[in-house]
Amino acid sequence: MKYYLLANPKSGDSTFMDKVSALEFNGAEKEIVNVLEISDYTELIGKLGSDDKIVICGGDGSLNQFVNRTQGIEIKNEILMYSAGTGNDFLFDIGADTIKDGPIPIGKYLVSLPSVEVNGKKYKFINGVGYGIDGYCCEEGDRQKAAGVKKISYSSIAIKGILGKFSSRNAKVTVDGKEYLFKKVWLAPTMNGRAYGGGMLVAPEQDRLNPEHTISVVIFKSRSRLNTLMIFPSFFKGTHVKKKKNITILTGKRIEVEFDKPTPLQIDGEVISGVTSYTAVSAE
């Protein structure tokens, strides 16, 4: 038996790769694979023995990259995950702590994943598709990273966005063929899990393992910037759902969201800029 540790050196903080290197598996052989050097997963998966195991080392972005880059490849090996030092909404959602307990099996969570189509391209997603000020925050965070900012405050980005740098949109949301119109929309994400954005409980009732494979779109609308700012922190505890005038949650298997202005969108934290619409479809 051999453990293949798929690690992105850019994940986590400066100690991440040291923690990955220190992982032990009861004396079993291990190999650390730099995912940035993998051009084709077919070759890697093809060389695995029947009892070898894959350990995805990283956060939500690493997991998202793995499921999208291995589409169409049959993987019979057990898949585990290890994340150290940074926030991970997937592990938060399933109540796992790999720092305390070590790598955990996650294969059952990867069997029936929803997909999203953006600008004619399809992607699988793990946690959710953020559209609105959440996408704006990720886009601005990426811009700051590129500019060399070492400590990025997404809370500060969100506050500045709500107070003036980001404007609400009008939205058309279609769920399983039924159309809804909303004005002054700040968020319209579609969720497979409960959380994104570092522990924001956007869809507290969403179950990623629900047998119907349904997904949920959460519409946050508000005419006032001040009111929006006051409600926004409640997303971290999931209490925003009590704000019935501002929050609408719709559940279905096919969700289409269209804004009246191009808006940044994020898929498990990966940003796509200038998006006018997206279509999310649950697994069959």
- H runs (alpha helix) in 22-175: 41-46, 60-69, 89-94, 98-101, 133-146, 154-160
What's the pTM? Answer: 0.93
Listed residue (69, 19, 20) closest to 45, CA to CA? 69
Positive or negative torsion for Cα 233, 235, 241, 247: positive
Rg value, the chain, Cα: 19
β-sheet bridge partners, residue 129: 190, 267
Domains of the chain, each with CATH number or no CATH: 2-109 (3.40.50.10330), 115-281 (2.60.200.40)
Q: What is the model's pLDDT at position 155?
A: 85
Answer whether 22's CB lies under 8 Å from 73's CB: no
Q: What is the model's pLDDT at position 86?
A: 62
**pLDDT 10s per residue in the chain (284 long)?**
999 999 988 777 778 899 999 999 999 999 999 999 999 999 999 999 999 999 999 989 899 999 999 999 999 999 999 987 566 899 999 999 888 889 999 999 999 999 999 999 999 999 999 999 999 999 999 999 889 887 888 889 999 999 999 999 999 999 999 999 999 999 999 999 999 988 899 999 999 999 999 999 999 999 999 999 999 999 999 999 999 999 999 999 999 999 999 999 999 989 999 999 999 999 87
Q: What is the model's pLDDT at position 84?
A: 73
Answer whether 133's CB lies under 8 Å from 187's CB: yes
Q: What is the model's pLDDT at position 243?
A: 96
